[in-house]
Chains A and B, each alone.
With several copies, the nearest count.
Chain A
Amino acid sequence: MEGLLPDLEVVRKDFPILSRTLAGGQPLVYLDSANTSQKPQCVIDRMVDHLEHHNANVARAMHQLGAEASEAFEEARDTVASFIGAPSRDEVIFTKNASEALNLVANTLAWAEGDWSSRVGSLGAGDEVLITEMEHHSNIVPWQLLTQRTGATLRWFGLTDGGELDLSDLDSLITERTRVVSLTWVSNMLGTVNPVAEIARRAHEVGALVVVDASQAVPQMPVDVVASGADVLVFTGHKCVGPTGIGVLWGRREVLDQLPPFLGGGEMIETVRMEGSTYAGIPHKFEAGTPPIVEAVGLGAALEYLRDLGMDRVAAHEQAITRYALDGLATVPGLRVMGPTDPAVERGGAISFELDGVHPHDIAQVLDSRGVAVRAGHHCARPAHARFGVQSSTRMSSYLYTTPQEIDALVEALEYTRSYFRLGQ
């Protein structure tokens, strides 16, 4: 099969969990990577080495362990910066996950000042924040809170029946009133890849701030923050073979400099007096308290692993497997995929579907009994489900370690599900 990672079996050996067996001796078929990815041994080992030999607090410590820990932590920042093509390492802020990164922007915008002449300013009645109907809840709720709190208005792009952004009313959505446009690069439910650079260009014409949720993009495809057109771009460590507890916010210096502080505390300050404080420059301004140190170290190792595999090849693998999966799923009677299925259209690796007559929970349960791990529910994208008139769906999501045989196992398990629930042909 063309496009698969060479040495796929060797790559799989890097991931200890993939050789696990489940109840009843079933081998694990992990198709829930859009939820969280598995971790290669090198990431785990790097974290263990850090904890066993170099653990200390960073920045504050003047001793050898402190210097080692600080160096490891700041090296991780360099790795992230180069992985996403950030013009400056200082523009890379470590957060706890993508959700915190998105909230950081939305929460501080409630207190921002200025006239938006350089894409940051104060929000009020008449100002608009524009999102899309396919966002993850983490890119919806923060903007609902912001607009409720400032009196601004929340608007959104709708979706076409094919699961793409409905750009037909672009001109009425992106207007002089638009202050912020926040959208996902790749949908975690539909797999849709949005034209972020094009939308960013339009948004910048009206002076709006562009926030890109790259949580599903960074794991799957080469990402260059400058080419993306984003002013702010976020992603989360655990979806790109890194640990939990770490996310990344990249922002253009000019934007980050203008945003007021988010969390106050240790390390984000310049001078603290009881009467008032001054704040450090970026990145520290947004990293209050002890940062996720071992997590940053783990993320650094994760991105090095992806870099060494080559993001072009990871992307090609994802596309090949996704295509193979779409073909396989098309053979299951009564199965309907939501999102792009046209082979000519680029799409991400998350495939959500309905199966006539069986509820997603029940599908996932039967699949699980055969070792096939998928997700059932609304995948934190309830509005997109509502758009397609469903309460929930079943989602399979592959990653760089997924094999065609695992897709076969999924398709067989779906056939078995149909027979278990006695559905006819």
Chain B
Amino acid sequence: MTTSTGGHDLDALYQEIILDHYKNPHHAGLRDPYEAEVHHVNPTCGDEVTLRVHLTDGPDGPVVQDVSYDAVGCSISQASTSVMADLVIGKPVEEALAIHQDFLTLMQGKGQVVPDEDVLEDGIAFAGVAKFPARVKCALLSWMAWKDATANVMEESA
């Protein structure tokens, strides 16, 4: 019945890449300009993120010009926020949404999904998190916030 894993897997969860992003988060802080700001909470533990997105027009549709944030949370949620910002900033929104979907699939795969390093880059370090159901929510918090904020901007401009 159990799908959670024991001590020997701790290193699978806390990959060096994750701990590095945790100690030195990329793109942290709230910046101007932005078109949407959202606030997401993990009700179980109280982790929170305030996140802003700034989109600009590109040749093939909108582009993620900037993602800035203020987040309180555990190593997994903080590192995930940092990796997410790395992955989506500078990408066309459409491509960024596809990356979001890939990350979601990885996280919900209960450890059975093999991630594509070309797409997810540092994000592949989260493959181990998928084996810890209680932590999946941590890894997804800011991704969900980003998607929400982006959807808000797209709706406004639609």
- Report if A and B associate in a common complex: yes
Q: Closest chain A residue to B40 by CB distance? A: A270
State the Cβ distance, A338 to closest chain B Cβ, in Å. Answer: 14
Q: Which residues of B contact A66 (CB under 8 A)?
A: 134
Q: Across the interface, do B75 and A64 meet the contact criterion of CB distance under 8 Å? A: no
In this complex, the interface size class of chain B, counting residues with CB under 8 Å from chain A, is: 20 to 34
State the Cβ distance, B78 to closest chain A Cβ, in Å. Answer: 8
Q: How many residues of A contact B (CB 8 A)?
A: 41
Which of B43-51, B56-64, B83-91, B96-104 touches A? Answer: B43-51
Q: Across the interface, do A360 and B74 meet the contact criterion of CB distance under 8 Å? A: yes
Q: A67-B133, A361-B135, A362-B75 are in contact. Are A23 and B43 (CB under 8 A)?
A: no
Q: Which residues of A contact B8 (CB under 8 A)?
A: 23-24, 369
Task: Give which listed residue, A67, A269, A360, contacts B3 with CB less than 8 A.
Answer: A67
State the Cβ distance, A296 to closest chain B Cβ, in Å. Answer: 14
Asked whether any CB of chain B lies closer than 8 Å to the CB of A70, the reply is yes
A313 to B120: give the CA distance in the assembly, Å: 50
A361 to B135: give the CA distance in the assembly, Å: 9
Contact with A along B98-118 (1 / 0, CB 8 A): 000000000000000000000
A369 to B43: give the CA distance in the assembly, Å: 24
Asked whether any CB of chain B lies closer than 8 Å to the CB of A330, the reply is no
Contact with B along A374-411 (1 / 0, CB 8 A): 00111000100100000110000000000000000000
Contact with A along B2-13 (1 / 0, CB 8 A): 111111111001
Q: Which residues of A contact B135 (CB under 8 A)?
A: 62, 361, 365
A421 to B23: give the CA distance in the assembly, Å: 11
Q: Across the interface, do B6 and A270 meet the contact criterion of CB distance under 8 Å? A: no
State the Cβ distance, B41 to closest chain A Cβ, in Å. Answer: 5
A61-B134, A67-B3, A361-B73 known; 19 other A-B pairs, CB under 8 Å? A23-B4, A23-B8, A26-B7, A54-B1, A59-B44, A68-B1, A70-B134, A267-B43, A270-B41, A270-B43, A360-B45, A361-B135, A362-B76, A369-B8, A370-B7, A377-B45, A385-B46, A391-B47, A420-B10
A-B contact list, 14 entries, CB within 8 Å: A24-B8, A26-B6, A67-B3, A72-B1, A284-B43, A359-B75, A361-B135, A362-B75, A369-B8, A369-B10, A377-B45, A378-B46, A391-B47, A391-B72
